């Protein structure tokens, strides 16, 4: 019997999971049963990270204990900061983050043990260290000294503080929290699959997360948010959006960044929340250009996709780009911010994977030649 090929693993279920469910037809996303819209409106990133690693939301005491467990880990080994200082100036933040995660294994006393206790211990370190690493690299490449975390601040607050050196306003911290909650988890997306597949060899957490960071960086995955902003910057004004979109769609292989999804057939619920956040920020800051351009791009894409009978809607990366722009982040920091959030989801999946592991080993349908005779090199 001919094997079935599912290119891009489309429609393939690799295991069961308790962490997250996406209903792509209805545009619903739940983390352990809780609707993403409610979590984004009401929960902090720490509560969500706890939820992803446990069965339920934390009580007040459990949350305080979780925060205390994170606190000692915010600092990163000075050797990593030293490495950043030696990186060529053009080094992209995602390359820096990926290398830093890999280096962290060398500074961990017990990097290889994959017992659930040890995996959880490393997870706490990484959740605390990702914002420090991303912020430190951004400062170092601009000739600024890294800022030590303030143990009194939340992860969202600390990330802003470590980036800017100024204590963030509650409003900015809240926007950051919402963004982190929305990006924390999303089922068997490419980077999470890569993390689980890597861990399925029973290699260590650092290797699995290094691989996941590399996967997230791609423009078809987490790298799309950076591409969205690069596109908006290149387009420059609302009146040029239509031409830009039509030019891309003239090529059947053309993809407008920030649109489309493998699972959602209707609007990604995270995009809706981020649209509202972007609108509010645009009103408050008076810097409405990026939001207006985004709305126009959505309008043109809706019209064009409807004409073509396709269901291609904005995804999480589309409005996050204008949100981050209005928060003052450079475009190439958007994907590291995604990673700062997604580390908690990756860790939730590694806990599941190591708890009941089975090596991932798919197959390829061979279509090459067979039966060839070896010719000695002198005869070729
Ligand atoms: N722009 C234009 N057309 C798009 C599109 C986009 N961003 N995304 C999908 N489509 C169209 C394709 O033209 C395709 O049409 P066809 O069936 O006539 O060939 C159809 O929708 C299905 O697209 P396909 O690329 O096969 O779907 P997929 O499940 O493989 O792709 C993505 C999903 C995310 C890779 C794809 O939508 C994409 O490249 N988006 C842009 C990158 C992005 O924003 N990534 C972040 C995802 S969260």
Distance 108 CA to ligand 1 centre (A): 40
**pLDDT tens column, 291-333:** 999 999 999 999 999 999 999 999 999 999 999 999 999 999 9
| Residues 212, 233 within the same domain | no
| CB-based contacts of 319, cutoff 8 Å, min separation 6 | 271, 274, 275, 277, 278, 294
Looking at the fold, whether 70 and 151 belong to one and the same domain comes out as: yes
Q: 145 lies in a domain?
A: yes
Average pLDDT over residues 95-108: 98
Give the domain CATH number at 251: 1.10.230.10
User: Contact 180/340 with Cβ under 8 angstroms?
Assistant: yes
**In a shared domain, residues 86 and 32:** yes
- Quote the pLDDT of residue 119: 98
247 catalytic per annotation: no
pLDDT for 258 equals 97
Average pLDDT over residues 53-79: 97
Burial label, 319 (beta-carbon count in 10 A; 0-12, 13-18, 19+): buried
Q: Are residues 137 and 36 in the same domain?
A: yes
Question: What is the mean predicted confidence (pLDDT) over 150-157?
Answer: 96
Q: Which of 183, 186, 261, 349 is catalytic?
A: 261
- Which CATH number goes with the domain that contains 124? 1.10.580.10
pLDDT in tens, 222-231: 999 999 999 9
pLDDT band, very low/low/confident/very high, at 200 (cuts 50, 70, 90): very high
Ligand 1 close to Cβ of residue 245 (< 6 A)? no
Residue 13 lies in a domain: no
Residue 7 forms part of a structural domain: no
Predicted confidence (pLDDT) at residue 254 exceeds the cutoff of 90: yes
**pLDDT for position 10:** 94
The answer on 170 and 140 residing in a single domain is yes
pLDDT > 90? residue 2: no
Among the listed residues 296, 297, 279, the one whose alpha carbon sits nearest the alpha carbon of residue 288: 279
In DSSP terms, which residues pair with 23 in a beta bridge? 28
pLDDT average, residue stretch 198-220: 98
- Is the pTM higher than 0.95? The answer reads yes
Does residue 38 fall inside a structural domain? yes
Band the pLDDT of 67: cuts 50, 70, 90: very high
pLDDT digits (tens, 9 = 90+) for 16-33: 999 999 999 999 999 999
Residue 235 lies in a domain: yes
- pLDDT at residue 131, rounded to an integer: 98
**CA of 246 relative to ligand 1 center, distance in Å:** 15
Q: What is the dihedral of CA 53, 54, 55, 61, to 10 degrees?
A: -140
The domain containing residue 145 runs over which residues? Answer: 20-217+339-355
Contact call for residues 315 and 268 (beta carbons, < 8 A): yes
Q: Among 183, 181, 213, 209, which Cα is nearest to 196's?
A: 209
| Same domain (yes/no): 235, 174 | no
Residues 349 and 294 in one domain: no
The reply to whether 44 and 113 lie within a common domain is: yes
Half-sphere exposure (Cβ direction) of 235: Cα atoms closer than 13 Å: 26
Q: How many domains does the chain have?
A: 2
Q: How do beta strands 20-23 and 28-31 pair? A: antiparallel
| Strands 20-23 vs 34-35: parallel, antiparallel or unpaired | unpaired
Q: What is the pLDDT of residue 1?
A: 80
* In the chain, % of residues over pLDDT 90: 98
- The pLDDT score that the predictor gives to residue 75 is 97
Decide whether any atom of ligand 1 lies within 6 Å of the 274 Cβ.
no
- Reply yes or no on whether the pLDDT at 363 is more than 90: yes
**pLDDT value, residue 132:** 98
Same domain, 315 and 276: yes
Residue 110 CB burial class (10 angstroms; 0-12, 13-18, ≥19): exposed
Residue 9 Cβ < 6 Å to ligand 1 = no
Ligand 1 lined by 244 (C-beta under 6 Å):
no
Mutate to test the pocket of ligand 1, among 255, 314, 341 (most ligand atoms within 8 A of CB): 255
In the annotation, is 83 catalytic? no
Residue for token pair 């064009």: 304
How many C-beta atoms surround the C-beta of residue 187 within 10 A? 15
Does some domain include residue 370?
no
Mean pLDDT of the chain: 97
Residues 175 and 310 in one domain: no
């Amino acid at each position: 019997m001919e094997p079935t090929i599912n290119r891009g693993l489309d429609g393939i279920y690799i295991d069961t999971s308790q962490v997250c469910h996406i209903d792509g037809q209805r545009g619903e996303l739940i983390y352990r049963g809780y609707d993403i819209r409610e979590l984004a409106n009401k929960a902090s990133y720490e509560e969500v990270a706890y939820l992803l690693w446990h069965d339920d939301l934390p009580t007040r005491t459990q949350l305080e204990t979780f925060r205390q467990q994170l606190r000692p880990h915010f600092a990163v080994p000075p050797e990593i900061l030293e490495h950043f200082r030696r990186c060529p100036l053009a080094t992209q933040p995602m390359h820096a983050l990926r290398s830093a995660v890999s280096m962290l294994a060398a500074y961990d006393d017990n990097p290889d043990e994959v017992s659930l206790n040890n995996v959880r211990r490393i997870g706490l370190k990484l959740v605390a260290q990702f914002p420090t690493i991303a912020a430190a690299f951004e400062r170092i490449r601009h000739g600024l000294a890294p800022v030590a975390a303030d143990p009194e601040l939340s992860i969202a607050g600390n990330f802003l503080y470590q980036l800017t050196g100024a204590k963030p306003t509650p409003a900015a911290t809240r926007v950051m929290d919402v963004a982190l909650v929305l990006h924390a988890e999303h089922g068997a997306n490419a980077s999470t699959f890569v993390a689980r597949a890597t861990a399925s060899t029973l290699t260590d957490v650092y290797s699995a997360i290094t691989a996941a960071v590399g996967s997230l960086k791609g423009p078809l995955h987490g790298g799309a948010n950076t591409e969205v902003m690069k596109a908006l910057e290149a387009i420059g004004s609302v009146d040029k959006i239509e031409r830009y979109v039509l030019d891309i769609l003239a090529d059947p292989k053309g993809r407008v960044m920030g649109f489309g999804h493998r699972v959602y057939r209707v609007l990604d619920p995270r995009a809706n929340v981020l649209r509202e956040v972007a609108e509010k920020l645009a009103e408050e800051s008076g810097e409405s250009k990026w939001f207006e351009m985004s709305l126009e791009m959505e309008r043109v894409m809706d019209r064009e996709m409807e004409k073509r009978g396709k269901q291609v809607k904005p995804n999480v990366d589309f409005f996050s780009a204008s949100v981050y722009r209005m928060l003052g982040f450079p475009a190439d920091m958007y994907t590291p911010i995604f990673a700062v959030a997604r580390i908690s989801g990756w860790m939730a999946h590694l806990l599941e994977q190591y708890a009941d592991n089975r090596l991932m080993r798919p197959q390829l349908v061979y279509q090459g030649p067979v039966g060839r005779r070896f010719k000695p090199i002198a005869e070729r």
